[in-house]
Structure 1
Amino acid sequence: MTDITPLLRDRWSPRGYDPAHTLSPEDAKLLLEAARWAPSAMNLQPWRFIVALRADALRPRLDRFVAGHSDWALDASALVVNICRSGDDQLGVAHYDLGDAVAHMCIEAEALGVHARQFISFDRQGLSREFGIVAPWTAVTMTAIGRPAAGLQPSGRERVDVSELLWKDI
């Protein structure tokens, strides 16, 4: 693992964020730019995002759908709703492409000196009603982005051995 780029090797997903840290609008734009450059099957780019920085008027509207589900994310500098157009996806790759775009965003966050954690525990139905997300669009996941809370450290990242990644003995 030590031979891969430090952006990947040192990446971790905190479950607590510094409530005083702010992410600049310029950095938020860089995160979106990173997502924009993700590969996409047939260049469909079936992803959209709702980005709410801590100081945005949009943030309290978004926080309501996280509260009680993933409370740890409420202290993040930014919350991002990751939205996918999959209802008309005949190839079945829209979710894959969204995941790639979000991964690009997460690596850009590392390059900016902050950390990102993706999560699925939020009020998806309520959020979709609030923001007018209707088929074929779906709010799939959210991402919390910011500086880890004081004293939080990565606690060892368990991964299967690289030899286990190859499909069976063929």
Structure 2
Amino acid sequence: MTTAAPTVGARQLRTALRGHASGVAVLTAATPGGPAGVTITSFTSVSAEPALVSFALAESSSTWARVKDCQRFGIQLLGAAQREVAERFAAAGVDRFAPPTRWHTGPHGVPLLDDCAAWLVGTRHRQLALGDHQLIVCAVEHVRIGSPRDSLVHLHGALQAAPGAPPVPESPQSAER
């Protein structure tokens, strides 16, 4: 299959995508230099069977330089009340794990943030260079679900709440259909 050269510039693409809400998460990893982490909006589910998720990081990111050799990652899904956490992990030149950040060491030594809507720990499954980013697919090994809460999303260039009722658990009868 032949693909045409892209005719859309980065600015035009960003403008078009500003109106598409993206969930906000924090990626963490244990590195030889200590814990590393960064706010991401590229997190997505890939497959339920097997349990796979993905995220992308810019190769120019200082966090990418620290986590590129890591095999395990933590992904924290943030609630609307965690805007300050998202901002801290997006900021340059700060110790993201210093107080007031509350975190603990989770499975396989992965640093995990406290009080998130949910966190996942996964192992690098595949990696693909795409443009100026690296796409990492992780096989999910551990999940912890926090209390239901509104999600934090990135929309129109800002972090904001995405209100909504928690999902209704699926009944055994509906799961069999």
Superposition TM-score, scaled by structure 2 size: 0.22
More strand by share: 2
Which structure has more relative contact order (CA 8 Å, sep 6+)? It is 1
